[in-house]
Amino acid sequence: MTILSALNPAPAAASATSEETLLQVSGLGFRYSRVRPWLFRNLGFTLERGEILSILGPNARGKTTLLKCLSGLLTPREGQVTSAAAVGYVPQDHGAGGTSFTVAEMVLMGRSRHLRAYQTPRREDHDAADAAMERVGVAGWANRPYSELSGGQRQLVLIARAVASGSELLVLDEPASALDLHNQSRVLGVLAGLAADGMGVIMTTHHPDHALHVSRNALLFVGSDDTRWGPTDQMLTSSALSAVYGLPICTPTVGTGSGNRVIAVPDFGPSCRKDCGGPFAAAPSDAAPVASARLTSAPPRKDLS
């Protein structure tokens, strides 16, 4: 068990832990300097094996900062992060940065923590990288230049790199940002598969639907000193989401190809096309009419993956 940081006594009681606990956070607080405001204080939560935790909140609220504290990239000012597993961090930015590496080489880099300085990767490192590429479904691109992949493909390669590192706990910063619907579905499917295999997954997201779809628990930055953690369906209520994002959001149940599920539907205000038949339909719209489809009676659709 690794204690990443303990600068000050933890003010919050830690949640109960079990053999299945991968991560325990208690009394966590961070600010970038003494003259900057606290981004969060007194945070406490746990993550079990096989669990996906989603972190949601407005821009600049401190989500990436929290992930860095959980990954050991930043030292919390207060509290403690105790991890029972190596943490694999997948950053938000997956730009190619002019790299000429192949996909296989990028994934192999995930093995660096197992190697001494200047040591050549061993057979077992190549095997681990190959297994990670198979597991995440990127083995077919092994010899392609990473720089020539799309954003969604790169995201999957970075997930494979984190898996290759042997980390049992993945921490991902907005893994589905900038992805089309198909790739969002694919990334979420990969994360759900890793969790089903017993790994722990923590991700930030600006998509409440993604959290509702795959997460057991959610951590919600509501107000400056109001942070909530608990079962996703209890956290991501209409009133809580409306408070987080500062606009009305409803959470209807819709029929999909794979059954009924709860989604989050925001009212974007005057610019919203009111003729969509959605939950906020009221005032006539200047926009050209579109086919009306009530959310509660949407026809089943095929899975995107």
- Contacting positions for ligand ATP (CB under 6 A): 32, 39, 57, 59-65
Question: DSSP string of the chain?
Answer: -EEEEESS---SPPPP--TTEEEEEEEEEE-SSTTSPPSEEEEEEEEETT-EEEEE--TTSSHHHHHHHHHTSS--SEEEEEESS-EEEE-S----TT---BHHHHHHGGGGGGS-TTPPPPHHHHHHHHHHHHHHT-GGGTTSBGGGS-HHHHHHHHHHHHHHTT-SEEEESSTTTT--HHHHHHHHHHHHHHHHTT-EEEEE-S-HHHHHHH-SEEEEEEETTEEEEEEHHHHS-HHHHHHHHTS-EE--EEEETTEEEE--EE--GGGS-GGG-STT--S--SSPP-----GGGPPP-----
In the complex, what is the shortest distance from the CB of residue 267 to ligand ATP, in angstroms, rounded to a whole number? 21
In the complex, what is the shortest distance from the CB of residue 277 to ligand ATP, in angstroms, rounded to a whole number? 31
In the complex, what is the shortest distance from the CB of residue 251 to ligand ATP, in angstroms, rounded to a whole number? 21
Q: Smaller CB distance to ligand ATP: residue 75 or 253?
A: 75
In the complex, what is the shortest distance from the CB of residue 207 to ligand ATP, in angstroms, rounded to a whole number? 12
Q: Smaller CB distance to ligand ATP: residue 39 or 218?
A: 39
Q: Smaller CB distance to ligand ATP: residue 55 or 106?
A: 55
In the complex, what is the shortest distance from the CB of residue 31 to ligand ATP, in angstroms, rounded to a whole number? 9
Q: Smaller CB distance to ligand ATP: residue 59 or 271?
A: 59
Q: Smaller CB distance to ligand ATP: residue 16 or 60?
A: 60
In the complex, what is the shortest distance from the CB of residue 67 to ligand ATP, in angstroms, rounded to a whole number? 8
Q: Smaller CB distance to ligand ATP: residue 60 or 117?
A: 60
